[in-house]
Structure 1
């Protein structure tokens, strides 16, 4: 382990700032929920003379709940639970139909569920409890308490009307909760979950290929060619100070790029924008990743390709104009901070998870629109050690504890994937058994089926939601 002095010094400062923010100001609230906290063990798998615990946050909506009605539990993802609650409208849409209690449980180490408060990320030793196994145990612990609170005759039940919901990484957790604690939830709705995104289960190239397909579908061929051309132009232009200054000024960067490390961060920042555009390419305006218009990939590509450029600087100007749509759609952003992800607590925490349990290989080839680069596990492991002081020596750990593609031994899980969702690259796309089922949503983006119903939803999205409702009725024995 690295000593605490080697950890990023901005972490503790950001935690103090984050703790002082009011949740309501950080998240636009479409749905009103009650905030609660529950003390959970810091380590579910060890016994202490004096048990160590911390407050885990969860949100509750009981407006439509009646005694004996089901509990729908959302397994928290990598971020503030308020954000996911406000973007999981499907659960609110169906709560009246099922007379359900809605509970959104925050994932440890995210939002306000910080085991060591402002010191959570200041010492490598404090981060060893950030694991999927501990998070799943948190969910099971909270659900057990909910059973005692909302179902009176606990000893008379062998199953409870409780179902897990989750999307993306949270969708993996919802499925794993059903797999690891089958007596805790009757079933799981797992949307856009990259269950097979582990070494040896999926090609490292498939994620960027999927992102490229989204741009091909909505941005047409010229957009792909321009983006691909842009990498060499940016790299060549930023080899000297004059070029760095031009890019910094034209793209309104908060700090001028001046080193090769800065250029590398710039390229990574641009790649992240393309990925986030593809992930948030909804058919209506959203603010999940960033405030964006409907079909942001199309809007971005239109801005990039609808007028001509005569030289290298003209191309850079076109990119700057298009990038503004993502970074400053509301017109409130003064400058673009390419270091923002390095200063973000959520990114820091999930980066740790991706260095330990959730190793998800990414590589790029000539077949996609990104910089061609192979997957280099040794290089990846060295970066992880430098940043977190952690070993990545067990890349197969996720498959070992969750079974990889061996899903036939489980039951009552629905996996849904949007055809235009990059994470569908590594999702469950075909029925495994009669009770471990898949629903592929044609022409649909990332976890759109768990968002609220919208007038512009296509028939495929509506059908996916009906599929979920039928599964819920079956599991809850309401047929």
Structure 2
């Protein structure tokens, strides 16, 4: 499955390009003694672990000022890596006199139960505590404890912010805990994929990847499209896998051509997903390398040239590649967070590979030796967000959520792209990529990105103003 993360193409690149907006001394780290299990009374469920959170109070107006608290809901990576990437909060805290809080997701980073990652990830009995309901309740406990410790009563509204998988969490948190979070900014949250066993959603991701490459260069698109059959042709020959291993300079000898094709597919996906116009332009980087290959260069040599250009600029590790944390994320996508991304049509630059739920389940069973997984409709049953009824369901009990998306992001195929009500607002941008709006502002940001962020800030300001007016009028606000 493609990366559902705010971190971008590489850890090195986002550290280099978007550092802390303010000195790290403004960020103070704390640990909350968190319950392992919020929903059972068994003796073993009363265990605790230390959950990390970070506070930046540099611009906070104080508990008596009614200034808001912006809470970043950490996702599937260590929190420090995410703080380095998410500049939206520090950039805009002065405008709101806001307190900034960042909470790490259980089982990631330093918030690992059972004392160590090795213990936490050892089997299904420990990993069973890694699920959405426990995670959301963690956030609720930490937020309420912070407000209590700071004497920040109900006059202090909370806005939750998340990107990618974290954007899904922000959406679900606002729906489940409207009395804690006044509103949510959900950036690049593919919320509709959570009920995604539908062909139009399954094909959406790689269709957008193909569209991004085709818009960059028709000849590049055609070269990539032709490369798959060339790989298969060579792989079918005697010693063909050895030839491909040498030509692509793979870390280990190829055992089959599928591994190579999957690796290439994920590179193209990452390039499109995180193709920020003012930062990397990874799609153009790949296509320029392909199109500038010398005359007479065969198809695979052009692709190899593209990979050399890509990995020279982004040397890795790609996505978040910590093996232990990847094991935790694999558990999540094998149990609750099923995001089916397949290729069933012929209008892409990829070979057909439709999503197969049976095969997906078999892979998960092999990883975790469980019989009943995944449950593709569990989230929609639990939270009530079935896609065919999304306008009805969210319209009835949802409010104050901003769904921001960039249409060049392949995950926008599962995003909310049209406003569902006056307070369930979609802010799509035609040229945007994954989570771009919640990254730190840069001097060369395009006008459309500046406008998108300003729109988000205006809506959040309106939520806060209405909240205080309702309190002044003695109106209960949920």
Note whether the superposition's TM-score is higher than 0.5.
yes
Are residues 36 and 282 of structure 1, via their aligned partners in 2, closer, same or farther at CA, if it must alter by over 3 Å?
same
Where structure 1 has 5 or more consecutive residues not aligned to the other structure, the ranges are: 1-22, 286-293
| 2:187 equivalent among 186, 191, 196 | 191
Cα deviations by residue, 1:42-68 (Å, 9 ceiling, x for unpaired): 111112447211111112211111212
- The answer as to 2:38 corresponding to 1:40 is no
Aligned residue number for residue 174 of structure 1? 170
Correspondence 1:399 to 2:380 = yes
Query: What per-residue deviation string (whole Å, max 9, x for no partner) do you get for residues 381-401 of structure 1?
Result: 111111122322521112112
Whether the 8 Å CA contact 2:334–2:374 is kept in 1: the answer is no
Q: CA deviation at 1:343?
A: 6.9
Give 1:328 deviation, angstroms.
Answer: 2.9
| Residue number in structure 1 paired with 2:293 | 307
Query: How many aligned residue pairs are there?
Result: 433
> Distance in 2 between the 1:416 and 1:341 partners?
23
- Normalising by the residue count of structure 1, what TM-score does the alignment of the two structures yield? 0.85
Answer whether contact 2:405 2:434 (CA < 8 A) is retained.
Answer: yes
**Offset at residue 78 of structure 1 (A):** 1.1
User: 1: distance between equivalents of 2:229 and 2:435?
Assistant: 34
Structure 2: segments with no counterpart, 5+ residues:
1-10, 470-478
> 1:14-413 maps to which residues of 2 (within 5 A)?
29-30=19-20, 31=22, 32=24, 33-49=27-43, 51-68=46-63, 69-116=67-114, 117=116, 118-151=118-151, 154=153, 157=154, 160-197=156-193, 198-200=195-197, 203-217=201-215, 219-240=216-237, 242-257=239-254, 259-260=255-256, 263-285=257-279, 294-308=280-294, 310=296, 314-329=298-313, 344-364=323-343, 365-390=345-370, 391-392=372-373, 394-404=375-385, 405=390, 406-408=393-395, 409-413=397-401
Paired with 2:28 and 2:258, the residues of 1 have a C-alpha distance of: 43
Cα distance, 1:322–1:126 mapped onto 2, change above 3 Å: same
Contact 1:58 1:103 in 2 (8 A): yes
**Whole-angstrom CA distance in 2 between matches of 1:84 and 1:438:** 24
More helix by percentage: 2
In 2, Cα distance between equivalents of 1:36 and 1:236: 56
Tell me if 1:453 matches 2:434. no
- Over residues 200-220 of structure 1, what are the superposed CA-to-partner deviations in whole Å (9 max), with x where a residue is unaligned? 465210111111111122x22
| Distance change (3 Å), C-alpha of 1:272 and 1:297 | same
Corresponding residue SS for 2:328:
helix
SS in 2 for 1:77: coil
Q: Provide, for residues 358-417 of structure 1, a one-character-per-residue CA deviation record: whole Å limited to 9, x for no partner.
A: 111121121111221112111111111111223225211121122222211211111111
* Equivalence for 1:434: 422
Shift of 1:309: 5.4
